[in-house]
């Protein structure tokens, strides 16, 4: 049983994928409606495919270039194995495939949801959420399948399928990092490109359609309306899916790396503790596998009965599914932690030395992760939810004009960082206190275990949004739109909370990667009292700000192209406004597609270029590798801290403006007067929403990718910067207990030896710890010389201790 | 000569103050114009005094509370001497007095400038810049006078006026930190309170006056117009003055602390190197003193001849003065560095050990500071200057509405962080590479040496602005307003570049304080790979964001109160619109005053409360002091990095919106069409400016205070967290060279001993470095026991080395 545990996640992932296929065929069997509806839906489907194809072309080129670079690196750097290239390619392909599944099902589910909404709200929910479920399970299933399969492959390739030592396992995991890098690279295209696409289409459609021509949203006469609906799928479905796919893989990977570090801290071999000696490495994958089955159970619970249900009931149904799956993950974490981990482990805590940790403490850390995942959604909902205090305040401020509306929205987004950051900081602290950085990574892993469920909830929103658009465009009875509006409104809330979940996952993932980075580079930590490190902390802090600006400008540029095209069509196509001329939807789709992929280049370059420049430029100038590693660590920390702040700020400000605008639809009371759509205050709120759109759908969510990709690039570079760079690289780290008297006068002597080879020269760091009469003294020695010299000297020291 | 060097800065400061008095009496002798002008000017003067008095009342209470707290601390913590309370009070009083001088002269100079502008532009410049000079010299003179006087006092009190050891000097400087804390506390009130005041009045006046009643800016019928003009003085004169006063003092103090650290690194005694053995400590004060005289020379060069001069000539005159003083500071830095410093010094570089540094390298570091001071202004001007590319882009975006204008402005502010942060990061790196953190602090000190000149340039802007307002209100000939507008327009540019200088100074000051903090607490650095430190880095990063939001909201609230009052007056005072009824200016002034001081409480509390909570809450729970010190360091770094980013972002976005709006006054070409004031695009630009106003005048500049005050509070707490907390506190750090053979086979043995007393227990850290045949090996030992035990053991080790 125990030795087969390694295959368990694959089985669970396959089960998840099978369930996905079943669900998919069920959705596809539903009635896709009549002529007009089908026609519009086909337009959207084709538009989405057009984007995917264009994206795939671009990213094939990208994958080829990076693969070549990685191959070159793997030939130059002996510790980087060429298999990383294979892992990278598969990571990219799996991620793209997951996005493909999501986009296809979403664009097929929308029209079926509209059709179902003609008769039944419960059925409409069932279908739209079913589409979301397919998406969620596709992402989670492929992530676990790919990661586990490659882990098993490398485990057999590098270690013969049996525990050898932590060094070998490090190489396994370093190679596995390629899979994660591939996944996150695709996320860059999907999230950033998708974010630009969706807002360029949206803003372009609104500016000419609503503002200039005075026709309503989703009006079929507007040439950009299909692009707008495609955008919902590109940004919110494929972008979000790729984002969480990347987080999922990276989190589990980082937890595995830190699990291996525990084995190292425990002496390098815990085969006698079961699970082939890799329990701590396997645990995060096992939890991810369990999470897939749990998510399936969770999705089954999402249903409503009454055809007259309102937002609250729909939200309630989603909440039941969500909270049940969170609770079940907690239970499975308890079971797996106690089952798979040694009862007590030793972990190195910086500045505190080795500390004994029980398996239960790892479980507590996972609880913290689940807590953060739940609470961050509540925090996000408070700051962006309809009828909540912050939104009402923005509505009030709209009465004095766009300026005050904007200030209020910005302030809301900024203030919302307070509780979120305190939550993250508390979670980092607590999960670290429980189980070191392994605890932080396990907290993230537990939170991510419900990814399939989260994505189902999240993807259901844009499907409902599209369903409403199709209802509008195909001129259905008002009741149909009312029903889809209920789903859409809930979808807007889940979109905001989903963004909260995504940023929480990105933040914890980055921290876990950051910790893994430090262990890979074998530096003593990242000391910001060294000026170059501090300087890089500054630079890292700046990058998310500039990235956001570039993303926002990209939306502006792409939207302007859209505006010109729509204006041209309005002018040149006869009868377009009367509904007799047919707009050229595909031209608008093509513009969005092309512009979004072009405009994401610069921010993408910024993301990838900076860490590479920081690592390799000083290397050319002969700077010490360890110093570079510390600088790069400072940069990573800067990007993460600033990126998380700007993500929360932009997401929540954008969400708040959006719902402040929406508040006017039902009417709001301002200074004692009911105010509706079309009022000056509403116009001010619309201006706020225009600013908020790129905030919440482009630059804000892109931050997730930026911080994760930065930390992943760091992790992939890490072995190059680490101690073991030269051909004869050898690194050992052993801890030996020399003497223990367990009388009342306890005497303990312990020696820890670390040897790094730098070419012919061995650098040894020897720490001798003596505990006598309750007093502990430690002594550190550094030795340098040939390997033999150093080893002889160490034996001498050991002998002298006895 | 050498031994009297300590008095030199006092003499120079007094010379500066005397020149200030001469200049002041010259300005006061100028013609103050006729009845109406005088009346308006008196209103502004009285309004300013009303604010000052209200502020003084509030800050007296604050000073008393903090003094009591500090006294309590000084009785509990043995290393904190009660004299810190005296230093604190004087720091506060000096800063307040400097602000007082500035406000008074500015409100007296404005009307004289208007009067001069009736006949001559050169005279108007001479008078307005004369007022600025008084302000600048008042601030710089009082700062140097106070700091030097207290240093001499404490030097005599604690050390008998002669070098004893670095520990004693540390106590001198720790006590001197009180002066800096006092100065910065006042800056909090002046900058944050002033920032809220000026924008509440401005926005309030505009919203009702311009928008609702349709009367022009500065119209005497608007009851808020006096408050608006007072606001210019409160925010831009007194606020900026207090800000730079605080930076000036803190920078010099931090450089002194790090200078003392050099003496420590050199063995603790360099009396044989001259200057009573305190050359490195005295150098920053000497440069500051020289800077005063240089600034006087610089101000003398600012003049124009032609009555038909335009902005370019006026700007040119200011630039000549500015660049000359920067060049002269460079010369004096060279002279003083070579004169006062030992030819070579030893400095501890983290991770690299002791490194020999020549005096010239300190000079190079100062050059970097001067370079940053000059370039940051150019960068700021590029992003906010009229006719520059970013501004033109915002103007273009205004044509598609307020939404796109806002996005463009935000993006400009965000992108502007790129070059500024790279500049800072490069400066940190380079100045550190030249001379360690002493180099960073000296770079800051050199930059700040031109403070008097910078302030003169800066204060001249609001004076000219006021002069224009008085011209308008007293219904002068158009030519008068044209002349003041030329000065005002240049003033707007210098206001933006002045903000760049202020944030650069705040950034470098904070870094210097940060470094001083680490030396005071005696921690090994700040390792962000420890989770609690990383968590605090996050929390620190969040605080500037929340602070900015609070400041912006404060403006909103205060402005609304103003709006209600103006509306009330328009309704209740008969004949006010016809000019027959007299508006109650004082009521508006009172509202601004009260609201601004009330609303600054919460952000102030945030600034002061967080570092105290981080230091003392874990202490209550028994956490290790050194761990707390590291956490607090992480917090300080987070605040600094994030604060600098948000300062640049907000200042430049605000400045860009402002000038985009101003561009419409002369007319701009949008899509081939000339567009002017009153167009839709202009209205969109006005909305952008409304958002930008609190950005650039309230929350943006407040960041400077936030980051400096945070680091200063850290510095004042540092001794409590440091090793020497108990009654029998003893800390020694000695380096002894045991053996040196200078044959070709060089053998060097060196032993470094650090002892910290924790109650009865001595903790010793012993580092033995051996260099033999070019190979260096080092060994570190930790010892714990009673003082005698440890010292005996150390002697044993030393003997064994010989």
Are the beta carbons of A610 and A246 closer than 8 angstroms?
A: no
pLDDT tens digits, one per residue of A424-439: 999 999 999 999 999 9
Predicted ipTM? Answer: 0.87
Q: Which domain does B761 fall in, by range?
A: 731-801
Are the beta carbons of B638 and A425 closer than 8 angstroms?
A: no
Nearest one of A126, A124, A145, A144 to A134, comparing CA atoms: A126
Nearest one of A86, A74, A237, A244 to A153, comparing CA atoms: A86
CA distance B236 to B190: 10
pLDDT tens digits, one per residue of B73-110: 888 877 778 899 999 999 999 999 998 899 899 999 99
Number of structural domains found in chain B: 2
Q: Calculate mean pLDDT across residues A734-742.
A: 54
Are the beta carbons of A696 and A658 closer than 8 angstroms?
A: yes
Look at A549-558, B211-220, B459-468 and tell me which has the smallest mean pLDDT.
B211-220
CA distance A656 to A501: 17
Per-residue pLDDT band for A89 (boundaries 50, 70, 90) equals very high
- Where does residue B760 rank: exposed (0-12), middle (13-18), buried (19+ CB within 10 A)? exposed
- Token couple for A577: 């406004």
Question: What are residue A733's DSSP bridge partners?
Answer: A754
pLDDT tens digits, one per residue of A579-629: 788 888 888 888 888 888 888 889 989 999 999 999 989 888 888 888 899
CA distance B234 to A512: 48
CA distance A189 to A59: 8
CB atoms A549 and B414 under 8 Å: yes
CA of A452 vs chain B CAs: smallest distance (Å): 29
Look at A374-378, A518-522, B365-369 and tell me which has the smallest mean pLDDT.
A518-522
Q: Calculate mean pLDDT across residues A485-509.
A: 86
Report the b/e string of B366-378 with b at 16+ CB within 10 A.
Answer: bbbbbbbbbbbbe
Based on the fold, state whether residues B627 and B745 are members of the same structural domain.
no
Q: Calculate mean pLDDT across residues B134-154.
A: 95
| Residue A614 included in any domain | no
Based on the fold, state whether residues B213 and B187 are members of the same structural domain.
yes
Of chain A, the percentage scoring pLDDT greater than 90 comes to 44
CA distance B259 to B285: 11
CA of A189 vs chain B CAs: smallest distance (Å): 21
pLDDT, residue B731, reads 42
Is the pLDDT at A189 greater than 50? The verdict is yes
CA distance B695 to A414: 13
Based on the fold, state whether residues B238 and B279 are members of the same structural domain.
yes
Based on the fold, state whether residues B645 and B778 are members of the same structural domain.
no
Average pLDDT, chain B: 87
Which of residues A468, A499, A522 is at a domain's end? A522
**HEC string for B69-115:** HHHHHHHHCCCCCCHHHHHHHHHHHHHHHHHHHHHHHHHHHHHHHHH
Beta pairing, strands B668-670 & B673-675: antiparallel
Are the beta carbons of A706 and A643 closer than 8 angstroms?
A: yes
Q: Calculate mean pLDDT across residues B661-667.
A: 86
Torsion of CA A133, A138, A139, A143, to 10 degrees: 140
Based on the fold, state whether residues B643 and B774 are members of the same structural domain.
no
Is the pLDDT at A725 greater than 50? The verdict is no
* Cα distance between the two ends of chain B: 43
Q: Which long-range contacts (CB under 8 A, 24 or more apart) does B60-63 make?
A: B62/B185, B62/B189, B63/B88, B63/B89, B63/B92, B63/B182, B63/B185
Q: Which of B402, B537, B626 to probe the A interface (max A CBs under 10 A)?
A: B402
CA distance B74 to B52: 31
Are the beta carbons of B752 and B745 closer than 8 angstroms?
A: no
- Token couple for B144: 């140097």
Per-residue pLDDT band for B255 (boundaries 50, 70, 90) equals very high
Q: Calculate mean pLDDT across residues A156-180.
A: 90
- Nearest by CB to A642, which of B397, B539, B541? B541
Are the beta carbons of A555 and A199 closer than 8 angstroms?
A: yes
CA distance A282 to B497: 57
CA distance B416 to B650: 10
CA of B687 vs chain A CAs: smallest distance (Å): 5
Q: Calculate mean pLDDT across residues B174-195.
A: 91
Identify the DSSP state of B267: T
Nearest one of B132, B99, B133, B131 to B112, comparing CA atoms: B131
The greatest distance separating any two alpha carbons of chain B, rounded to the nearest whole angstrom, comes to: 99
CB atoms A402 and B550 under 8 Å: no
Based on the fold, state whether residues B311 and B357 are members of the same structural domain.
yes
CB atoms B545 and A417 under 8 Å: yes
Tokens 């910005």 locate to: A410
Supply angle C-alpha A682, A686, A692, rounded to 5: 140
Reduce the DSSP state of residue B227 to 3 states and report it.
Answer: helix
- Token couple for B643: 């604060």
Torsion of CA B482, B484, B485, B487, to 10 degrees: 130
Of chain B, the percentage scoring pLDDT greater than 90 comes to 44
Could you tell me which residues come within 8 angstroms of residue B602 by beta carbon, excluding any fewer than 6 positions away?
B550, B554
Are the beta carbons of B501 and B451 closer than 8 angstroms?
A: no
Nearest one of A775, A798, A767 to B780, comparing CA atoms: A767
pLDDT, residue A579, reads 78
**DSSP H or E stretch at residue B320:** helix B311-340
- Nearest by CB to A351, which of B407, B530, B634? B530
Based on the fold, state whether residues B418 and B557 are members of the same structural domain.
yes
* Cα distance between the two ends of chain A: 43
pLDDT tens digits, one per residue of A285-330: 999 999 999 999 999 999 998 888 888 899 899 999 999 999 999 9
Q: Calculate mean pLDDT across residues B483-498.
A: 85
Q: Calculate mean pLDDT across residues A233-243.
A: 86
Based on the fold, state whether residues B639 and B698 are members of the same structural domain.
yes
Per-residue pLDDT band for A777 (boundaries 50, 70, 90) equals low
CA distance A119 to A307: 9
| Residue A293 included in any domain | yes
Based on the fold, state whether residues B432 and B543 are members of the same structural domain.
yes
Look at A111-115, B15-19, B20-24, B460-464 and tell me which has the smallest mean pLDDT.
B460-464
Dihedral sign for Cα atoms in the order A423, A424, A427, A428: negative
| Residue A140 included in any domain | yes
Residue B472: count of CB within 10 angstroms of its CB = 20
pLDDT, residue A724, reads 44
Q: How many CA atoms lie within 13 A of A42 on its CB side?
A: 8
Chain A residue closest in CA terms to B531: A429
CB atoms B406 and A687 under 8 Å: yes
Residue A793: count of CB within 10 angstroms of its CB = 16
pLDDT, residue B209, reads 80
CA of B424 vs chain A CAs: smallest distance (Å): 8
Q: Calculate mean pLDDT across residues B395-407.
A: 89
pLDDT, residue B740, reads 52
| Residue A795 included in any domain | yes
pLDDT, residue B550, reads 94
CA distance B445 to B428: 13
Is the pLDDT at A78 greater than 70? The verdict is yes
CB atoms B535 and A425 under 8 Å: yes
CB atoms B428 and A780 under 8 Å: no
Identify the DSSP state of A722: S
CA of B521 vs chain A CAs: smallest distance (Å): 13
CB atoms A638 and B641 under 8 Å: yes
CB atoms B541 and A424 under 8 Å: no
> What are residue A528's phi and psi, to 5 degrees?
-80, 5
Which of residues B668, B688, B721 is at a domain's end? B721
CA of B531 vs chain A CAs: smallest distance (Å): 6
Q: List chain A residues with CB under 8 Å of B422.
A: 539, 542
What Cα–Cα distance (Å) separates residue A434 from each residue in A251, A346, A782?
A: 18, 12, 32
CA distance A262 to A365: 15
pLDDT, residue B501, reads 87
The greatest distance separating any two alpha carbons of chain A, rounded to the nearest whole angstrom, comes to: 99
Identify the DSSP state of A272: G
Nearest one of B453, B15, B11, B507 to B254, comparing CA atoms: B507
CB atoms B403 and A545 under 8 Å: no
Based on the fold, state whether residues B623 and B702 are members of the same structural domain.
yes
Q: Calculate mean pLDDT across residues A372-384.
A: 89
Question: What are residue A768's DSSP bridge partners?
Answer: A751, A779
Based on the fold, state whether residues B641 and B762 are members of the same structural domain.
no
CA distance A438 to A516: 9
pLDDT, residue A420, reads 93
CA distance A119 to A59: 42
Are the beta carbons of A767 and A354 closer than 8 angstroms?
A: no
Is the pLDDT at B733 greater than 70? The verdict is no
pLDDT, residue A329, reads 96
Q: Calculate mean pLDDT across residues A106-116.
A: 92
In order, the DSSP letters of B45-74 are HHHHHHHHHHHHHHHHHHHHHHHHHHHHHH
Per-residue pLDDT band for A746 (boundaries 50, 70, 90) equals low
Are the beta carbons of B111 and B467 closer than 8 angstroms?
A: yes
CA distance A71 to A84: 8
pLDDT, residue B414, reads 96
pLDDT tens digits, one per residue of A1-49: 566 788 999 999 999 999 999 999 999 999 988 888 888 888 888 888 8
| Residue A37 included in any domain | yes
pLDDT tens digits, one per residue of A331-369: 999 999 999 999 888 888 876 778 888 999 999 999 999
Q: List chain A residues with CB under 8 Å of B537.
A: 637, 641
CA distance A53 to A594: 11
Q: Calculate mean pLDDT across residues B249-255.
A: 93
pLDDT, residue A529, reads 87
Which of residues B703, B721, B739 is at a domain's end? B721
In order, the DSSP letters of A345-402 are EEEEETTTEEEEEEHHHHHHHHHHHHHHHHHHHHHHHHHHSTTSHHHHHHHHHHTT-H
Is the pLDDT at A723 greater than 60? The verdict is no
Question: What are residue B755's DSSP bridge partners?
Answer: B732, B764
- Token couple for A616: 């390799």
Q: Calculate mean pLDDT across residues A685-689.
A: 90
Based on the fold, state whether residues B173 and B302 are members of the same structural domain.
yes
Q: List chain B residues with CB under 8 Å of A549.
A: 410-412, 414-415
- Where does residue A119 rank: exposed (0-12), middle (13-18), buried (19+ CB within 10 A)? middle
Nearest one of A615, A639, A656 to A548, comparing CA atoms: A639
Nearest one of A394, A419, A389 to A406, comparing CA atoms: A394
| Residue A82 included in any domain | yes
| Residue B2 included in any domain | no
Reduce the DSSP state of residue A62 to 3 states and report it.
Answer: helix
pLDDT tens digits, one per residue of B588-646: 888 888 888 888 889 989 999 999 999 989 888 888 888 899 999 999 999 999 999 99
What Cα–Cα distance (Å) separates residue A85 from each residue in A68, A169, A182, B58, B726?
A: 8, 18, 9, 66, 59
| Residue B472 included in any domain | yes
């Amino acid at each position: 049983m125990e030795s087969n545990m390694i295959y368990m996640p694959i089985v669970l992932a396959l089960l998840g994928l099978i369930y996905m296929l079943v669900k998919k065929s069920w959705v596809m069997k539903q009635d896709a409606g009549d002529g007009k509806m089908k026609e519009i839906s086909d337009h959207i489907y084709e538009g989405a495919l057009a984007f995917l194809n264009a994206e795939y072309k671009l990213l094939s080129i990208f994958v080829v270039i990076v693969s070549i670079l990685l191959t070159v690196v793997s030939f130059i750097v002996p510790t980087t194995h060429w298999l990383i290239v294979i892992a990278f390619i598969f990571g990219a392909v799996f991620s793209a495939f997951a996005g493909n599944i999501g986009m296809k099902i979403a664009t097929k589910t929308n029209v079926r949801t509209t059709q179902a909404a003609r008769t039944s709200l419960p059925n409409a929910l069932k279908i739209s959420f079913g589409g979301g479920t397919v998406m969620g399970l596709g992402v989670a299933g492929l992530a676990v399948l790919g990661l586990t399969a490659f882990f098993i492959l490398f485990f057999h390739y590098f270690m013969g399928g049996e525990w050898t030592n932590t060094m070998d396992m490090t190489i396994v995991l370093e190679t596995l990092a390629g899979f994660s890098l591939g996944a996150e690279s695709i996320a860059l295209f999907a999230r950033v490109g998708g974010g630009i696409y969706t807002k360029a289409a949206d803003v372009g459609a609104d500016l000419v359609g609503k503002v200039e021509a005075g026709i309503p949203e989703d009006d079929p006469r507007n040439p950009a309306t299909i692009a707008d609906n495609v955008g919902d799928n590109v940004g919110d479905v494929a972008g979000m899916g790729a984002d969480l796919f990347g987080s999922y893989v990276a989190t589990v990977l980082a937890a595995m790396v830190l699990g291996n570090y525990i084995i190292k801290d425990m002496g390098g071999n815990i085969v006698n503790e079961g699970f082939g000696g890799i329990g701590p490495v396997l645990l995060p994958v096992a939890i991810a596998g369990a999470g897939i089955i749990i998510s399936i159970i969770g999705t089954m619970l999402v249903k409503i009965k009454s055809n007259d249900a309102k937002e609250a009931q729909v939200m309630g149904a989603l909440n039941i599914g969500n909270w049940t799956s969170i609770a079940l993950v907690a239970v499975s974490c308890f079971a797996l932690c106690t089952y798979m981990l040694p009862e007590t482990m030793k972990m190195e805590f910086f500045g505190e030395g080795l500390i004994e940790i029980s398996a239960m403490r790892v479980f507590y850390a996972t609880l913290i992760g689940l807590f953060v995942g739940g609470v961050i959604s509540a925090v996000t909902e408070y700051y962006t939810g309809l009828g909540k205090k912050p939104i009402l305040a923005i509505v009030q401020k709209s009465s004095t004009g766009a300026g005050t509306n904007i200030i209020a929205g910005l302030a809301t987004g900024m203030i919302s960082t307070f509780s979120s950051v305190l939550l993250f900081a508390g979670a980092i602290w607590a999960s670290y206190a429980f189980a070191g950085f392994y605890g932080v990574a396990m907290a993230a892993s537990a939170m991510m275990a419900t990814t399939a469920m989260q994505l189902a909830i999240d993807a259901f929103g844009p499907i409902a949004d599209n369903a409403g658009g199709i209802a509008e465009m195909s001129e259905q009875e008002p009741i149909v739109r009312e029903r889809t509006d209920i789903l859409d409104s809930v979808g807007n809330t889940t979109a905001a909370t989903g963004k909260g979940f995504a940023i929480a996952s990105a933040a914890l993932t980055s921290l876990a990667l950051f910790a893994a980075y430090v262990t890979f580079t074998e530096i003593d930590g990242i000391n910001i009292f060294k000026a170059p490190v501090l300087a890089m902390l500054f630079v890292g802090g700046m990058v998310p700000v500039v990235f956001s600006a570039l993303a926002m400008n990209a939306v502006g540029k792409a939207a302007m192209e859209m505006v010109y095209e729509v204006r041209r069509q309005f002018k040149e196509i006869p009868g377009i406004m009367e509904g007799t001329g047919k707009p050229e939807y595909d031209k608008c789709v093509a513009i969005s597609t092309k512009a979004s992929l072009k405009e994401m280049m610069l921010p993408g370059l910024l993301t990838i270029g900076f860490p590479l420049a920081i690592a390799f430029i000083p290397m050319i100038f002969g700077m010490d590798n360890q110093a570079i590693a510390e600088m790069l660590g400072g940069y990573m920390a800067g990007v993460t801290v600033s990126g998380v702040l700007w993500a929360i700020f932009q997401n929540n400000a954008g969400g708040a403006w959006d719902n402040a605008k929406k508040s006017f639809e039902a009417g709001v009371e301002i200074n004692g007067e009911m105010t509706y759509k079309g009022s000056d205050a509403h116009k001010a709120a619309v201006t706020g929403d225009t600013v908020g759109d790129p905030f919440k759908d482009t630059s804000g969510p892109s931050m997730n990718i930026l911080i994760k990709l930065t930390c992943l690039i760091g992790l992939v570079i890490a072995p190059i910067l680490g101690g073991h760079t030269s051909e004869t690289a050898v690194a050992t780290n052993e801890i030996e207990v020399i003497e223990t008297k367990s009388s009342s006068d306890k005497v303990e002597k312990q020696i820890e030896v670390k040897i790094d080879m730098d070419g012919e020269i061995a650098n040894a760091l020897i720490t001798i710890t003596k505990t006598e009469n309750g007093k502990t003294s430690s002594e550190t020695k550094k030795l340098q010389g040939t390997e033999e010299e150093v080893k002889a000297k160490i034996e001498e020291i050991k002998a002298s201790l006895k």
